Chain A
Amino acid sequence: GDSVTQMEGPVTLSEEAFLTINCTYTATGYPSLFWYVQYPGEGLQLLLKATKADDKGSNKGFEATYRKETTSFHLEKGSVQVSDSAVYFCALSDSGGSNYKLTFGKGTLLTVNP
């Protein structure tokens, strides 16, 4: 079945540091890939997505590129801020008949210190 593996963290960075959160997946077919973010006390928010190989999703300075050859969708940001402290979830939805279902990774807690 489908699965998502992401680095569990926690990740602690200083402000303006470079961020990478690794995500790899296994899926049948050609999945769409997502990064969701959960700020403290809130639900999940869609951060970015990519629907096919070599697509790059980007939002709020975050980027992730859909790499079919390495089955990866790593999240990056060049300069993190304190306000980026949150839990980040990598997810996929398969292109099969049940494409409304999301498979999530376990989440990575990011803490950015001033």
Chain B
Amino acid sequence: ETGVTQTPRHLVMGMTNKKSLKCEQHLGHNAMYWYKQSAKKPLELMFVYNFKEQTENNSVPSRFSPECPNSSHLFLHLHTLQPEDSALYLCASSQEVAGVIVQFFGPGTRLTVL
């Protein structure tokens, strides 16, 4: 148990739907991340938030919209998605351990876009 939770665990949506993914951590970490994991591809970093400020947007299409209302919560708002957006979306948070930043991952949301 890493202390990072994600809801829902599975989501099926049509291309015209709007949905949101939620991530929560109560580990006291100040940085939170969204990753996309597709089959046969390396993990893709999407967004990074540090102290609630977005510090990284890795050329992600605008149909993905992150929100970080506080250090414990991170959302990914989805609208007008494409079938190729189907993937496992992983949230992570991080802390410094002995001078090294260590990331802790949630279980992911398996998204299917029809």
Contact = CB atoms under 8 A, between A and B. Distances in A.
Main secondary structure of the interface of B (DSSP, over half): strand
Contact of B42 (A32, A101, A105): A105
Interface residues of B, number: 26
Interface stretch (A19-27, A42-50, A65-73, A78-86): A42-50
Nearest to A100: B101
Contacts, number: 55
Contacts of A32: 100-101
A102 interface: yes
Nearest to A89: B43
Given A43-B108, A44-B105, A45-B105, A100 B100 contact: no
A99 B101 contact: yes
B31 interface: yes
A102 B100 contact: no
Contact of A104 (B40, B43, B102): B43
A49 B107 CA distance: 21
Interface string B80-114: 00000000001010100011111111111000000
Interface of B: 2, 4, 6, 31, 40-43, 45, 48, 50, 56, 90, 92, 94, 98-108
